[in-house]
Amino acid sequence: MTDRVRIDTNWHYHGLRALVVENRHLRLVILPELGGKLWSLVDKATDREIFWHNPRMGPRPAPYGAAYDDWFCGGWDELFPNDAPTSFASALYPDHGEWWSMPFAWEVTTQRPDEVTVHCWRAGIVTDTRVERWITLRADAPTFTTRYRIHNAGPQPLDYLWKLHPALAISPGARIDLPACTVRPEAAFNDRLDKQPFTWPAARGAQGEAVDMRVVPGKEAATCDFYYATDLAAGWCALTNAAAGVGFGLAFDPAVFRSVWVFGAYGGWRGHYTTILEPCTGYPYQLEEAVAQGTASQLATGATLDTTVTAVLYHGRASVGEITPEGEVR
C-alpha cells in the first residue's frame, strides 16, 4: 500500500466542525470553530490518544471572556496575548487570552497524496492583530508542523505572552525531558516543592528532600506543579509514556519561545491527571508582571512574527536527550 496523507472535512464532533488529517503514523483532529483547537492526536502504532481529554466535559462553544478553567476540555489550545485575565494597556484582556474561545476561518491550501496543509486565521478582539496558522502533515512522517504568522496592525507596540498549551495523557512514571535550563517554580501552585529556583531536573521538596522533576507522580499524589523552565539551552520539550510505548515532543525556535511552562495536575487540581507542556514567549503568567520585569515579548507596530513548530511522535525510548528542528528525536 502506498503511503499517503488524507484529509476529511465532512465530520462534526459535539456539533463542531472537525477536520481529520491523517497518515499511516497519526491522526490529527482540528476544531476550527473552537479557537482552532487541536482536539485529538492518535498514535496509530499503539492506538493511543496523545492528548488529555477532560472526562467530565467535552468541547463546547464558549462565550468570549469565559473563565478558561470552567471550559477546559483538553486538547491543544493556544493563548495570546495573556494568561491570567488583566486590565492592561487600557484594555480588558480575557482569561487565557482572546483566541481559545473564538472561531477561526479555515481552508485547505494543499491536498496531495504526499502532503496536506490546513490554513486557519482570525483577527484579534482586544488587540489589533491577525494570526495565521498553516498546519502541515506529510506522508510517512510521524510529525506535523505548524507555521505561525502574527501581525500587529495596531498603532502601538504590543506586549504579549503567547504560549502553546497541549494537555497530554499521562500514566504514573511518565517522564518529562527538557534541555538544560533554570527552573522557576510558580509559588501559587507548588505544594510539594520548596519553591526555590533550581537547575533542571533536581528540585527540592517542601521538607528539603531531593525531587527528580522528570518523573511524573501518580494521581494519588494529590498535588499540582506549575513552573517555568528558562534560559533554555535548546528549543524542545518532550513527555515519554514508556509503559504505553509512545512519546510526544515539540521542537521550536528558542529565540521566540524563550521558556517552557509545565503545568502538572496530579490529582491536586480539580482531581485531574495531566501534564501540559507549554512553550511560551515569556513568563510569569501575569502579563503585567512579565512586562515589569522585562520577561514578556513585544511586537512592534506593523511588525510580523513568523515561526514554525514541529510536533513529533516517537517509540522505543525511555527518555529524550534532544529533538532537532526537523523533528528527529535523539
Q: Report pLDDT digits (tens) over 15-26.
A: 999 999 999 999
* Average pLDDT of span 167-181: 97
| Predicted pLDDT at 211 | 97
| Predicted pLDDT at 218 | 96
Would you state the cell numbers that stand for residue 148, as one nine-digit string? 505561525
* Average pLDDT of span 289-311: 98
- Cα(164)–Cα(260) distance, integer angstroms: 9
The DSSP code for 231 is S
- Cα(81)–Cα(158) distance, integer angstroms: 9
Query: Is the domain defined by 6-314 classed in CATH 2.70.98.10?
Result: yes
List, in order, residues 6 or more apart from 1 with CB less than 8 Å away: none
Identify each DSSP E strand in 153-257 by its residue range.
158-160, 163-168, 175-177, 182-185, 198-199, 202-204, 210-212, 223-230, 236-241, 246-251
| Predicted pLDDT at 184 | 97
- Cα(134)–Cα(211) distance, integer angstroms: 39
| Predicted pLDDT at 287 | 98
- Cα(278)–Cα(259) distance, integer angstroms: 8
User: What pTM, to 2 d.p., does this model score?
Assistant: 0.97
Residue 190 has pLDDT above 90, yes or no: no
Give me the chain's average pLDDT, please. Answer: 97
| Predicted pLDDT at 2 | 61
Would you state the cell numbers that stand for residue 137, as one nine-digit string? 502533515
Measure Cα distances from 198 to 159, 176, 279, 290 in Å.
Answer: 28, 16, 19, 20
| Predicted pLDDT at 55 | 97
* Confidence class for position 188, pLDDT limits 50, 70, 90: confident
Query: Which among 143, 260, 161 is positioned nearest to 201, based on CA atoms?
Result: 260
| 205 touches 118 (CB < 8 A) | no
- Cα(170)–Cα(267) distance, integer angstroms: 12
* Confidence class for position 89, pLDDT limits 50, 70, 90: confident
List, in order, residues 6 or more apart from 145 with CB less than 8 Å away: 135, 136, 308, 309, 310, 311, 327
Residue 191 has pLDDT above 90, yes or no: no
The DSSP code for 294 is T
What is the percent of the chain where pLDDT is above 90? 95
Residue 295 has pLDDT above 60, yes or no: yes
Q: Which residues pair with 242 in a beta bridge?
A: none
| Predicted pLDDT at 1 | 44
List, in order, residues 6 or more apart from 233 with CB less than 8 Å away: 179, 180, 181
* Average pLDDT of span 33-37: 98
- Phi and psi at residue 327, in whole multiples of 5°? 95, 15
Residue 38 has pLDDT above 50, yes or no: yes
Exposed, middle or buried: residue 87 (CB in 10 Å: 0-12, 13-18, 19+)? exposed
Exposed, middle or buried: residue 27 (CB in 10 Å: 0-12, 13-18, 19+)? middle
